[in-house]
Structure 1
């Protein structure tokens, strides 16, 4: 039986890469973890890693983990993942939605089938996870949701518009839902890496270590957001490096894949504000109470 002082996290998309490291980092820092992903059988010829392997690694270091098969294109499997955490651990304090489908092509080069896949896994899957966990968190008046999605800015759309539609949609969910969550004790935050992060994909594509950071930087940012006691991060779209600097982290050499090279930043240093002058204008009188 898990100790009562432990908090509970559900990490969706946790079989490899960033998601795997998030699960490991949380488990080392007083979280019992639901390790959720669709991969239950290892396939080294494609992408190695399973929820069983991640869960076993956590247990070998005296942590608490339960593997949960979860294909995010099936909302019922997302519901099972949430329910499993609630049943096994009797609570759920944090949900990290890291599942993702990626294809960086132009519109004319992206078949509708591929677009549907990215929308299902990215925007729709995140929405389904949020909808499932929200009633529980609102009832308990506490909880954090973290979506792996970027700040909204124009350069992100270029050359990969179909992919951007889904990922930016996740960030719209963060900004919009945050308004509904004010004062509830529940918060939602988006988080995105400043540089390329080492993963199974970068290994397969033979990306040179000098261009990458270790996934521990992203996992440390997730942990810090999870430990934030206030609601100040509600609705924020954060960059891992920038956020960690804001809370006092100064040593980023520890995150280099190549100790002698600081990887180039792929994110802008500043992002545009999405606020408008009419931000607080109430249109209910014009369009009715449901607008």
Structure 2
């Protein structure tokens, strides 16, 4: 694949982390499909797929915008089809779309859980279901889901939300078994600290609490460019993964130039593998 221009599909790319992922990939030579629900920027909700695509093109990159409401299967399948028609292949697909409500079970009506599940879990599965056949045919591809490692503290006080996000992590761990040797990998990525976004601006979070979204985008790019299958099935943390790639100075990612934000994620995570798994027969490959 040396010398060939690569392509990336980013879902949830109209602002914040998703926008920065799209910009970072474009800056590194990728053709980018910028997909999200927002097609018009407003004072209440600034940023749109057109704004991001135009910014990429103005900087000399190659991008096109498409409206995609991840609650609907037709939107996702149409987005993947359009991306394939435009670029001929999808080397990387990042699922950054998300709905968030950090409330306890007693405070979360079913309709709120349904919305989070539609966007966080079902949408992620739908993207994978639509992109995977193309990647398997090419025997190459990187799937990246914005999802957390699985550990008990993550569930506390936000169980309904956690259910829908961890579902995507289970998809990463489970599908990885089926992808061994295929040339296609799936990984989860989650931030170590709060990342600056439209939500943090609305809530007026102090800069000292946050990092810039460039740290998350840089980690995505490194995952995408990994030539081996070593990251298949891994639930990664942006800072920790970048350290394995030789990054030691994270000051450029600070929102407050004088201070690193507090880490919100644990330093270590539990292993999910049981000893009986060692003797399990290999999963039958789809290849």
**TM interval, short-chain normalised:** over 0.9
Q: How does 1:147-226 map to 2 (within 5 A)?
A: 147-226=145-224
Tell me which residue corresponds to 1:19.
18
Q: Measure, in 1, the Cα distance between the counterparts of 2:278 and 2:233.
A: 16
Q: Measure, in 2, the Cα distance between the counterparts of 1:214 and 1:282.
A: 43
Q: What secondary structure sits across from 1:279 in the alignment? A: helix
Q: State the 1:232 CA deviation.
A: 0.2
Q: Measure, in 2, the Cα distance between the counterparts of 1:142 and 1:52.
A: 29
Q: Residues 120-151 of structure 1, C-alpha deviation per residue, up to 9 Å, x if partnerless? A: 00000000000001111111110000000000
Q: TM-score, normalised by structure 1?
A: 0.95
Q: State the 1:48 CA deviation.
A: 1.0
The list of structure 1 runs, each at least 4 consecutive aligned residues, that deviate by more than 6 angstroms after superposition, is none
Q: State the 1:65 CA deviation.
A: 0.5
Q: State the 1:28 CA deviation.
A: 0.4
Question: Does residue 131 of structure 1 match 2:163?
Answer: no
Question: Does residue 56 of structure 1 match 2:54?
Answer: yes
Q: What secondary structure sits across from 1:262 in the alignment? A: coil
Q: Measure, in 1, the Cα distance between the counterparts of 2:257 and 2:281.
A: 54
Q: Residues 72-111 of structure 1, C-alpha deviation per residue, up to 9 Å, x if partnerless? A: 0001100111111110111110000000000000001001
Q: State the 1:163 CA deviation.
A: 0.2
Q: State the 1:5 CA deviation.
A: 2.6
Unpaired runs of 5+ residues, structure 2, are: 283-287
Q: State the 1:282 CA deviation.
A: 4.3
Tell me which residue corresponds to 1:85.
83
Question: Does residue 241 of structure 1 match 2:226?
Answer: no
Tell me which residue corresponds to 1:29.
28
Q: TM-score, normalised by structure 2?
A: 0.96
Aligned length, in residue pairs: 280
Unpaired runs of 5+ residues, structure 1, are: 285-291
Q: Measure, in 1, the Cα distance between the counterparts of 2:182 and 2:54.
A: 36
Q: What secondary structure sits across from 1:43 in the alignment? A: coil
Q: Out of 62, 67, 72, which is 1:69 matched to?
A: 67
Q: CA RMSD in A?
A: 1.2
Q: Measure, in 1, the Cα distance between the counterparts of 2:43 and 2:110.
A: 29
Q: State the 1:280 CA deviation.
A: 3.5
